[in-house]
Amino acid sequence: MITAYCRMVGGLSRALAAISTLLIIAAMLVVCQMIFMRYVFRLPTIWQTDFIVFSATAAMFLGAPYVLMKGGHVGVDVVELMVSLRTRSRLKLVGALLGLTFCLVMLAATWIQFHDAWAGNWRHSSVWAPPLWIPLSALPIGFAALCLQYVGQILGLVAGRQAPVSTHDQVLADLPVEVAGTTPVTKDLSR
């Protein structure tokens, strides 16, 4: 059951990462088009700056669940390196619970903002004036997917399956035990 859930959420995270990648590519192409229009043809740009900001922001929020799934979020691991593997697992569980709590609060806040923009027909204050519910929709979608990803991580930790191996775990696993000062880390390949 946990494996099926993690597989489903992983598929969703991968799909959102693909959308995030397409948004970054689109933003990059629009930047090139904007530069070309301004400096070659000396024409004004109206919608390009807003599109780039909205696309990059949406890409960041939609790509976050995939980064969490791969264990790529920035973390301070000084304390984690000094404790045992069992304590490290407990710290990962506490961190995942705190992350889930934060994402639930942000999901509620961004949903309210999205709903207000939708119901109030809010528009951006620029000349282009796109409806704001379109770019704001990436926030509750991203936080909802992050919540699902955190739940999968928590279920895996509680069930005794290891969380994704972080960078320092891999470095420690490659060092001799005398140098690393901890027990070697084993990877769970059952996923």
- For 40-75, write each residue's pLDDT tens digit: 999 999 999 999 999 999 999 999 999 999 988 777
Residue 180: its pLDDT value, please?
Answer: 46
Q: How far is CA 89 from CA 19, 43, 76, 119, in A?
A: 32, 57, 15, 44
DSSP notation for 24-89? HHHHHHHHHHHHHHHHTS----SSHHHHHHHHHHHHHHHHHHHHHHTT-S----HHHHHS-HHHHH
Rounded to two decimals, the pTM is: 0.81
Shortest CA distance to 164 belongs to which of 185, 147, 145? 185
Window from 20-29, 36-45, 125-134, 158-167 with minimum mean pLDDT: 158-167
**With contact defined as beta carbons under 8 Å apart, do 174 and 187 qualify?**
no
Q: What is the DSSP letter of 132?
A: T
Average pLDDT over residues 129-139: 96
What does the alpha-carbon distance between residue 105 and residue 112 come to, in Å, rounded to a whole number?
11
- For 138-176, write each residue's pLDDT tens digit: 999 999 999 999 999 999 999 887 554 454 555 455 545
What does the alpha-carbon distance between residue 110 and residue 73 come to, in Å, rounded to a whole number?
21
What does the alpha-carbon distance between residue 46 and residue 148 come to, in Å, rounded to a whole number?
38
Q: CA torsion angle for 165, 166, 169, 170 (degrees, to 10)?
A: 80
Amino acid at 34: M
- For 78-106, write each residue's pLDDT tens digit: 888 888 888 988 999 999 999 999 999 99
